[in-house]
Amino acid sequence: MVEQKLSAQNAVVAAPAEPESRERDSIDHDASLRGFARRRHRELAVAAVAAVAVALLPLAIHDVYLQNILVLTLMYAALSQSWNILGGYCGQISLGHAIYFGIGAYMSTLLYTHAGLTPWFGMVIGGGVAALIALTLGYPFFRLRGHYFTIATIVVAETGLLLVLNWDFAGGAQGIQIPYGPDSWAHLQFARDKLPYIYFALGFAVLTFIVTFAIEDSKWGYWWRAVKDNAEAAESLGVVVFRSKMAAAALSAFFTAIGGSFYAAFVSYIDPDSVMGFQFSLLIALPAVLGGIGTLWGPALGALVLIPLTELTRSSFGGSGNGLDLIIYGVLIMVISLARPEGLTSLFARRRGARAGLEARAKQ
């Protein structure tokens, strides 16, 4: 009898605790949502400040060589962000993106030299063709997993390289020289001035950043991360895995082809090895891997370190003929990778985590 009374009293005392617990959980949930929104707004603000700073940077840099490095850095930041959509967020590691880069370069160049169409039109057509080919290849390839998928992308890229090498209409191994015309945005040609190319590359990098930023918090972004973590579990929860991979591949290929079109206009000459070689697939993927795969800022940080390092070691030590530039370049990449295997963005993530921990302890 006494035990029953005690149980009844405990139930009466414990009853009000359940609404309080729900209210506390609701408050914590709202606080986490506000924190997430603040982080997103902060990322946009930082991106805007960085874009303005880069836009003002060419006004202080008059050396053509340094301006050329800036163009390449911005271009590879955008290309790596494009690769990051498929390889980082969706987890489908491709080492054959050079085929999409080459499609963009050759499509815009052929349309300009043979049909007189502006490179702007060729960019859109090249991006559409690259996206269509990515969807065509994705239908059989996305049934492969892990390193088998990666090997398949390499094989297709090398096959595309061999086909273009023997394609006389595209110049074969000799390539295509883009005819010079008057400086104009319509033809995307500027003989001596690098500033237009810098601003185009900056706009391209900003565009890919904004698209990735928008997708990251969308349904597709959550689907891609779920597929990357565990495709079977994601599918059991209603995620359409195959469609998710196809969408990521098409979007990634589209932006990569735009980068190829821009590069062709920038250098005014293309051949198969210069736009479809395996080194392009590596250079497109490496900044994201170095900066932080599957992160918003990883490709930009990786390109900021990797591309100037590549160009400076080549210009300083490449003339020796003994491969010293490649040795130094490789050693530095290994040191960075070993010191920060999660990418350069982990430096800032750990600082944010430590700051959040200090704030939590201060509130207690």
- What pLDDT, on the 0 to 100 scale, is given for residue 183? 80
Residue type, 222: Y
* Cα 101–chain centre separation: 13
- What pLDDT, on the 0 to 100 scale, is given for residue 9? 46
- What pLDDT, on the 0 to 100 scale, is given for residue 24? 57
HEC secondary structure over the chain:
CHHHHHHHHHHHHHCCHHHHHHHHHHHHHHHHHHHHHHHHHHHHHHHHHHHHHHHHHHHHCCCHHHHHHHHHHHHHHHHHHHHHHHHHHCCCCCCCCHHHHHHHHHHHHHHHHHHCCCHHHHHHHHHHHHHHHHHHHHHHHCCCCCHHHHHHHHHHHHHHHHHHHCCHHHCHHHCEECCCCCCECCCCECCCCCHHHHHHHHHHHHHHHHHHHHHHCCHHHHHHHHHHHCHHHHHHCCCCHHHHHHHHHHHHHHHHHHHHHHHHHHHCEECHHHHHCHHHHHHHHHHHHHHCCCCCCHHHHHHHHHHHHHHHHHHHHHHHCCCHHHHHHHHHHHHHHHHCCCCCHHHHHHHHHHHHHHHHHHHC
- What pLDDT, on the 0 to 100 scale, is given for residue 356? 45
- What pLDDT, on the 0 to 100 scale, is given for residue 39? 77
- What pLDDT, on the 0 to 100 scale, is given for residue 321? 55
- What pLDDT, on the 0 to 100 scale, is given for residue 297? 92
Q: Which of 302, 211, 208 is nearest to 262 (CA)?
A: 208
What are the structure tokens assigned to 46, written together? 């930082």
- What pLDDT, on the 0 to 100 scale, is given for residue 37? 72
Write the pLDDT tens digit of every residue in 294-311. Answer: 999 999 999 998 899 888
Residue-range domain boundaries for the chain: 63-280
What are the φ/ψ torsions at residue 189 (nearest 5 degrees)? -125, 130
- What pLDDT, on the 0 to 100 scale, is given for residue 135? 95
Q: Which of 218, 244, 224, 229 is nearest to 89 (CA)?
A: 224
Residues in the chain with pLDDT < 50?
Answer: 1-17, 353-363
Contact present, 256 and 99 (Cβ < 8 Å): no
Write the pLDDT tens digit of every residue in 229-284. Answer: 888 888 888 888 899 999 999 999 999 999 999 999 999 899 999 899 998 898 99
